[in-house]
């Protein structure tokens, strides 16, 4: 393969990696937390979670993880607490699903 052929083959896949993932915006709205926190608090927790768990810091990774349970996301939050799938973020004990929702919400903001 020539150099030009290699570039032509690599660029489309590289661009698709950096594209924003399409998803239902409800994935970025932690229902229970929205009752006690405003959007600014959710975004701040999301940013801190992304710092704590860099493997889940990208929009693509978060959407992939949350889409698995999109139909029953509130049930997944409950299951997380029962199974011990919890994280401590800024002094709050959250289900991993809630923390991921906050992280996704924080990525929707400019300059995140």
Q: Are 106 and 112 in contact (CB under 8 A)?
A: yes
**What are φ and ψ of residue 88, in 5° steps?**
-105, 115
pLDDT per residue as tens digits for the range 57-92: 999 999 999 998 888 999 999 999 999 999 999 999
User: How far is C-alpha 25 from the chain's CA centre?
Assistant: 11
Question: For residue 9, what are the domain limits?
Answer: 3-107
- If one counts the domains in the chain, the total is 1
Residue 88 lies in a domain: yes
CA 104 to chain centre: 4
**Domain assignment of residue 112, yes or no:** no
**Dist. CA 78–CA 69, nearest whole Å:** 12
Predicted confidence (pLDDT) at residue 5 exceeds the cutoff of 50: no
- Lowest-confidence range among 20-29, 36-45, 93-102? 20-29
Asked if the structure places residue 79 within a domain, the reply is: yes
> Tell me, what's the pLDDT at 21?
60
pLDDT digits 0-9 by tens, 35-57:
999 999 999 999 999 999 999 99
Strand partners, 95: 86
pTM value is: 0.79
């Amino acid at each position: 393969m020539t150099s030009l052929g290699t570039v032509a083959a690599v660029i489309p896949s590289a661009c698709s990696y950096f594209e924003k993932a399409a998803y239902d915006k409800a994935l970025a709205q932690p229902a229970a937390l929205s009752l006690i926190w405003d959007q600014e608090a959710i975004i701040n927790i999301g940013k801190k979670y992304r710092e704590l768990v860099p493997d889940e810091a990208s929009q693509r990774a978060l959407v992939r993880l949350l889409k698995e349970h999109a139909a029953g996301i509130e049930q997944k939050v409950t299951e997380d607490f029962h199974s011990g799938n919890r994280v401590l973020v800024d002094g709050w004990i959250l289900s991993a699903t809630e923390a991921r929702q906050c992280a996704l919400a924080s990525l929707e903001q400019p300059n995140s």
